[in-house]
Amino acid sequence: MANIVQPTLPAAGARARGRAGVQRRTGTAYLFLAPFLILFCVFVVAPAIYGLWISLHTWNPLLPLQPWVGLKNYIDLFTPGSLTSGDFWQSVGNTGIFTVASVPLLLVIPLVIAVLLNQKIRGGTVFRAIFFAPYVLGVAVIGVIWRYLLDPQLGVVNHVLGALGLPSNIPWTVDVPWAWISLVGVTVWWTLGFNTVILLAGLKGINVDLYDAAAMDGAGAFRKFWSVTLPGLRPVMTFVTTVTILASANMFGQSYLLTKGGPGHATRTAVMYIADEGLSQNQMGAAAAMSYVLFAILAVISIINFRLQRERS
């Protein structure tokens, strides 16, 4: 869940081919690759296929038989009133609420901070390190400390609000919409440094001459930001948007620890529901089907995102 770094996509064909004297060494290469490929096949390729197989069964590990049911698990998800469809789509909707609320904040706030850090200042690397620091803490640490700080009765936040003469009985973790505000706020606090650092690197990659040219044309600060910074940042922005959407769509730990998915199931996310249904309730077939439906939804969103970003450029 908390991937420290999102991997970079390789620069296709970065290496010159057909260099004189380079022979094919297929056997040697696969010997080098073997340890990784064995792990990759057993724990990535095989489960991707095995999961599809599971999803076509009523798969309960506590029962002696796992009967084949074809597409029933999928059909159930799209049949209103079935055992799983209501809860599943509620959890997908919750993940959607979280993603729609957190992604814009996780793009705008880090962009503003990155622009501030990109000025000629002293202590820039110190600020950068401070902003990044919460990200190296695990979601479990983040969850338990904010569960304390935001506790409606005993938490610091409400006490501080009270001392300032503001309402001091805000149900941060136990009622909506406050629970969403808490989950989104904590996530922004936790991960803004990650996006800031990437966007800052993107800003530093923009050609300084472009700013000088814009200044000669009489462009002000806002105009420069709009016509030089934003277009120059587009590839990095696409990357950050994609990574942030994927991370938000996989949200689990914050809800698990801050709100326990409550009140009721109002903040239970899709991943939380799938894990519970498959591994606690032992409905593995249904849970596997849900994970593929979620995957399909995310794939569609990713494609739309890529298309939109490409059209704009």
Partner 1 sequence: MTASEVTTQTRSTPEIPAKAPSGRPRKRPNRARVLLYVALSGIALIILLPLVWIVLTSFKTDFNAINAPINPIPNPFTTQAYQTLASGQQPIFLWFLNSLAAALLQSAIILVTASLGAYALARLEFRGKKIVFGAIVTTLLVPPVIFLIPNYLIVQNLGWLDTIWAITIPGAASAFGIFFLRQFFVGLPQEIEEAARLDGAGDFRIFWQMVLPLARPALATLAVLSFLNNWNDFLWPIYVLLSPEHETLQPGLAVLQGAYATHFSIVMAGAIIASIPVLILFTIAQRQIVESVASSGVKG
List binders of partner 1 among 11-70 (CB under 8 A). 11, 14-15, 17, 19, 21-26, 28-30, 32-37, 39-40, 42-48, 50-51, 54, 61
Cα–Cα distance between 175 and 170 in angstroms, integer?
9
Size of the site for partner 1 (CB under 8 A): 114
Judged by CB, which is closer to partner 1: 80, or 147? 147
Q: Which is nearer to partner 1, 213 or 303 (CB)?
A: 303
Q: What's the per-residue H, E or C state across 81-140? A: CCCCHHHHHHHHHHHHHHHHHHHHHHHHHHHHHHHHHCCCCCCHHHHHHHHHHHHHCCHH
What's the min distance (Å) between Cβ of 308 and partner 1?
17
Give least dist CB 226 to partner 1, A: 19
When binding is defined by CB under 8 A, the residue of 130, 213, 300, 304 that contacts partner 1 is: 130
Applying CB under 8 A, does 208 fall inside the site for partner 1?
no
Among 67, 125, 262, 305, binds partner 1 (CB under 8 A): 125
Which lies closer to partner 1 via its Cβ, residue 219 or residue 275?
275
131 contributes a contact to partner 1 by CB under 8 A: yes
Binding characters for partner 1, 154-173, by CB under 8 A (x = yes)? xxx--xx--x----------
From 243, 251, 276, select the one nearest 98 (Cα to Cα).
251
- Residue 177, number of CB atoms within 10 A of its CB: 12
Which residues within the stretch 289-308 sit at the binding site for partner 1 (CB under 8 A)? 291-292, 294-295, 298-299, 302
The single-letter code of the amino acid at 157 is V
Q: How far is CA 25 from the centre of its chain?
A: 39
How far is 248 from 240, CA to CA, in rounded Å? 12
CA–CA dist 171, 186 (Å, integer) = 15
CA dihedral (259, 263, 265, 266) positive or negative: negative
Q: Cα–Cα distance between 195 and 131 in angstroms, integer?
A: 10
95-114: which residues touch partner 1 (CB under 8 A)?
113
Q: Which segment (99-107, 172-180, 210-218, 278-286) binds partner 1 by CB under 8 A?
A: 278-286
